[in-house]
Amino acid sequence: MKLSIKKEILTESLNQVSKAISTKNIIPVLSGIKFNLTMEGLFLTCSDDDITIEVFIDKKDINEIEEVGSIVIPGKYFIDIVRKIPSDIIKLETDGLRIVLYTNNAEYNLNGINANEFPNRDLDTIKTPIYINKKIFKNIINQTAFAASLQESRPILTGINFNIKENILECIATDSYRLSKKTITLNEVIEHEVNIVIPSKNLIELTKIIDDEDENIEMHIFSNTILFKFNNILFQSRLLNGTYPDTSKLISEECLLQITSNLNELYNVIDRASLLTSEKEKNIVKMETTNNELIISSVSQEIGKIEERMKVEKSNETEVKIAFSSKYMMDALRALKSENVILLLNGEIKPIIIKTPNNENLIQLVLPIKTF
Amino acid sequence: MKLSIKKEILTESLNQVSKAISTKNIIPVLSGIKFNLTMEGLFLTCSDDDITIEVFIDKKDINEIEEVGSIVIPGKYFIDIVRKIPSDIIKLETDGLRIVLYTNNAEYNLNGINANEFPNRDLDTIKTPIYINKKIFKNIINQTAFAASLQESRPILTGINFNIKENILECIATDSYRLSKKTITLNEVIEHEVNIVIPSKNLIELTKIIDDEDENIEMHIFSNTILFKFNNILFQSRLLNGTYPDTSKLISEECLLQITSNLNELYNVIDRASLLTSEKEKNIVKMETTNNELIISSVSQEIGKIEERMKVEKSNETEVKIAFSSKYMMDALRALKSENVILLLNGEIKPIIIKTPNNENLIQLVLPIKTF
């Protein structure tokens, strides 16, 4: 393999593909980047068993292709070197199982691995992928992924459930203490119902390499994997096995009391009340209505207590006391984009539904904590 | 105690005094801030056994002093609350051993501790302190402290040696592998020779609260402590016991070869060569002269090798090979401010002296590592 390429182009592609470099270092070849130079262009591939990313650099973006070939290069070191090299053009050449990167004054020799040792992932596409606008797709992940579980005790909850019926995509994440649900209308009707669970951490990595162009991303769904295709990038993730819990009954249509308040103000009040709370004690903050005021409070036997009042709008004269995790409530509020927020309350042991006015597409739910 | 004060003024003073809040939490009162309100103003004090800071807010900067008194307030929580409160004016009032902070809509109650339990540090001053310009003082610390030892095995090396004879102040830090020495001419001649060692981590904390005004800082030296006085702040540090090693013979007047090169370029070349090195293996980088070139290289059996060349100016035709820790060399180069740098070499097992042209006030020294 022998080529010369603009540093800028190589760096951008390395940043994208490197999201799949294994950091576990158990299998050395997986901490590398596979370079495969053909007359059509350069394919870069990384894979960590959980996700595989392939980035293609077209021949028109390569200064010179002198000799095709392939090799696996130690990922982290190569990326660090390319990033710190001062020259605009980078020349790369293999010498047996070594890769030599050279500039006018310097020579960088890295020990490579035979490309045949790199696992062969099937990155096939299908004829009828599902199309979603890139920005909408990123929003889905940003507004739901935080609610997925980080505990491996129930693996299925570490994913985001993608459910498509006809032209309605419903995305749900829950760790069984809170839930986020986003509903999107697709541009076309899907023939077969889709019900899959994608690891949320893989989706978060994916959002990091999706740009903000007003274009679509393609979803190619297989029985055990999903392949996302956009620009010159293929991103494959495994799917989680198992049945995602039915959460539809949690989100009640009825409600005892509806509270409308300024979103930022409510967030800041809860943020301050949370200063005396601790993760160990579930970050408990209490909320109580009296007339047209909300009283937010927290107590720590050791440190002290906080009490703040704020004006809100109530749908009726019912008064409600409820306690919840300030962390979960703040996560939910951060995912909303609006001036005002609506809290739907059904009593102190019923889920709190959080949404914004005139928008049924995004629903956040936080379970209360019994303290009263 | 009862007062109201602008949030901005209180926040600035809290930031300054909080540098001495104990993070060890062994003695609860030391994780607090002592408030002592007199008719003259408010004294804030923190102490962690190693350093004590007292900040004074004059009565003219306090909106209202309603009742004098004192109390110790839990430091971290109080600072977080004040920072996040939206109101411009903060009202503070003690209620027995509780401190109540209130705004229009909120009440924050924190459990305090009796001010009598706060350790009584002697913050006396002397009549003839030593004066140093603030900027010059900060430069001394920034250009030497990194070379002090972090190991407690030889406590004396964790400090910076301040040595004053007549009007010459010499500051030295060394961890026995590298050394930094800064020499300053004071405005006045000191009567008695000073030779003290101040813990470098305390000096680093001190530089964080010294502003950039063109004013002096006062040094009040006692047998076991030093008190720095500036603005409305008293900063006391303990001194390290023991005799600081005599390092004067390390810095040789003679030299076999003098190399002059661009400072940034040399730094970047060593930075790139260091990419293959590791802390575990002492970050070894090799340097070799041939004609008017410097060859910087590094090797890692596992990963590969790097070799860069750069043009330099040599004082004579002697050729030298030497190896050193890239980390120590980069630390030393970062402390210099100049376009060019001078390396004085005396052979592969002799210290490397690093300085800038026409400046004998700052000398960096790095010991070589034997590899050839």
Instruction: Name the phi and psi angles at B240, rounded to 5.
Output: -85, 135
- Among residues A156, A154, A183, which one has the least CA distance to residue A171? A183
Contact B275 A86 (CB under 8 A): no
CB contacts, 8 Å: A271 with chain B: 84
A251-366, what's its fold? DNA Polymerase III; Chain A, domain 2 (3.10.150)
Structure confidence at residue B372 (pLDDT) = 65
Question: How many residues are there in chain B?
Answer: 372
* Average pLDDT of chain A, as a whole number: 95
Structure confidence at residue B24 (pLDDT) = 78
Q: Find out whether A236 and A226 touch, Cβ atoms under 8 Å.
A: yes
- How would you list the strands of the sheet with B293-300, edge to edge? A64-67, A2-6, A89-95, A98-102, A106-111, B304-311, B293-300, B284-290, B321-325
- Among residues B106, B110, B96, which one has the least CA distance to residue A276? B110
- B46-85: pLDDT as tens digits: 999 899 999 999 999 999 999 999 999 999 999 999 999 9
B272 closest CB neighbour out of A84, A110, A304: A84
Q: Please return the burial class of A178, using the count of CB atoms within 10 Å of its CB with bins 0-12, 13-18 and 19+.
A: buried
CA gap B331, B333 in Å, rounded: 6
Counting as low any pLDDT under 50, the low residues of chain B are none
B109 closest CB neighbour out of A81, A305, A310: A305
- Nearest chain B residue to A311 by CA distance is B105
Structure confidence at residue A371 (pLDDT) = 83
- State the pLDDT confidence band at A320, using cuts at 50, 70 and 90: very high
CA of A273 to nearest chain B CA: how many angstroms apart?
Answer: 9
A105 closest CB neighbour out of B105, B276, B309: B309
Structure confidence at residue A100 (pLDDT) = 97
Strands A352-356 and A340-345, how do they pair? antiparallel
Type and span of the H or E element at A180: strand A178-185
Q: Find out whether A140 and A171 touch, Cβ atoms under 8 Å.
A: yes
CA gap A266, A294 in Å, rounded: 9
Q: Find out whether A263 and A340 touch, Cβ atoms under 8 Å.
A: yes
**Cβ within 8 Å of residue B341, ≥6 positions away:** B260, B261, B262, B263, B266, B333, B354, B355, B356
Structure confidence at residue A49 (pLDDT) = 82
Task: Return the number of other C-beta atoms located less than 10 Å from residue A57's C-beta.
Answer: 21
Q: Count contacts between A and B (CB, < 8 Å).
A: 78
- Among residues A284, A355, A276, A289, which one has the least CA distance to residue A325? A284
* Percentage of chain A lying above the pLDDT 70 cut: 99
DSSP structure class, residue B113: B
Longest CA–CA span in chain B (Å) reads 80
CA gap B284, B286 in Å, rounded: 7
pTM for the full predicted model:
0.93
ipTM, two decimals, is 0.90
B80 closest CB neighbour out of A105, A275, A308: A275
What CATH class does B130-238 carry?
alpha beta
**Any alpha helices (H) in chain A, and if so which ranges?**
7-17, 75-84, 134-144, 200-208, 263-273, 326-334
Q: At residue B169, what is the residue type?
A: L
CA of A283 to nearest chain B CA: how many angstroms apart?
Answer: 15
Contact A303 B268 (CB under 8 A): no
B183, two tokens: 């020499």
- Chain B residues with CB-CB distance to A under 8 A? 74, 77, 80-81, 84-86, 98, 105-111, 268, 271-272, 275-276, 302-310
B230, two tokens: 């500036």
CB contacts, 8 Å: A303 with chain B: 74, 77, 110-111
Contact A304 B80 (CB under 8 A): no
CA gap A166, A184 in Å, rounded: 11
Contact B84 A109 (CB under 8 A): no
Q: Find out whether A41 and A63 touch, Cβ atoms under 8 Å.
A: no
Structure confidence at residue A130 (pLDDT) = 97
More confident site: A134 or B254: A134
- State the pLDDT confidence band at A253, using cuts at 50, 70 and 90: confident
Residue A250 reports pLDDT greater than 90: no
More confident site: A304 or A26: A304
- The residue assigned the tokens 């009796």 is B114
Stretch A66-74: mean pLDDT: 97
Contact A276 B77 (CB under 8 A): yes
Q: What is the DSSP string of A84-146?
A: H---SEEEEEEETTEEEEE-SSEEEEEE-B-GGGS--------SS-EEEEHHHHHHHHHHHGG
Q: Find out whether A14 and A44 touch, Cβ atoms under 8 Å.
A: yes
CA gap B58, A243 in Å, rounded: 67
The structural domains of chain B, with segments of one domain joined by +, span 2-117, 130-238, 251-366
Contact B307 A106 (CB under 8 A): yes
A275 closest CB neighbour out of B77, B107, B307: B77
Contact B304 A268 (CB under 8 A): no
Query: What would be the CATH architecture of the domain defined by B2-117?
Result: Roll (3.10)
Q: Which one of B94, B101, B276 would you mutate to disrupt binding with A, by most A Cβ within 10 Å of its Cβ? A: B276
Quick check: do B130-238 and B251-366 share a fold? yes
Structure confidence at residue A338 (pLDDT) = 95
Residue A25 reports pLDDT greater than 80: no
CB contacts, 8 Å: B86 with chain A: 268
A133-215, what's its fold? DNA Polymerase III; Chain A, domain 2 (3.10.150)
Structure confidence at residue A372 (pLDDT) = 64
CB contacts, 8 Å: A307 with chain B: 106-107
- B269-316: pLDDT as tens digits: 999 999 999 888 889 999 999 999 999 999 999 999 999 999 999 999
A308 closest CB neighbour out of B106, B305, B306: B106
Contact A109 B85 (CB under 8 A): no
Contact A107 B307 (CB under 8 A): yes
Strands A194-199 and B2-6, how do they pair? unpaired
B306 closest CB neighbour out of A108, A303, A309: A108
Choose from A190-194, A199-203, B27-31 the range with maximum mean pLDDT: A199-203
